[in-house]
Amino acid sequence: MFEAVGSPATIWQSFDLVTPGGTVNLVGEHWGKLELERPKMKWMLNDITAIRSFYFTIPEFYENQQMILEGKLNAKALATHAFPLGDVRAAYDRFAAGDTLKVLVKP
């Protein structure tokens, strides 16, 4: 399961929804303090693995954002594929194939 938002609500939702023995990939960045809000026994008994990522620092985020706002960086080129919400499985499969940059799922 991929959590790509980085909000505490979606992080906890990911842990609640992942299947026993599953993995939660935390690709959305949460910069604040995050403490266990659920009994960890359920996660431990279900043998859930958490993997987090880190792309760049907060100052680099603002630099990238400024480049987009100034038209120096075309961020639209980063989203190589888009799928409707009903095709989320196909979107995941496409991403897992490794031939995409960012795959969007639209509601």
Assign residue 7 the CATH number of its domain. Answer: 3.40.50.720
Domain boundary among 40, 55, 70: 55
CA dist 93 and 88 (Å) reads 9
Q: Structure tokens of 7? A: 């909000």
Same domain, 41 and 65: no
Q: Which region among 32-36, 53-57, 63-67, 101-105 has the lowest average model confidence (pLDDT)?
A: 53-57
Q: Which region among 15-19, 29-33, 76-80, 89-93 has the lowest average model confidence (pLDDT)?
A: 29-33
Considering the entire predicted model, what is its pTM?
0.51
Domain count, the chain: 2
Residue range of the domain that includes 46: 1-55
Same domain, 5 and 44: yes
| 7: alpha, beta or left? (left if phi > 0; alpha if psi -120 to 50) | beta
Residue type, 78: L
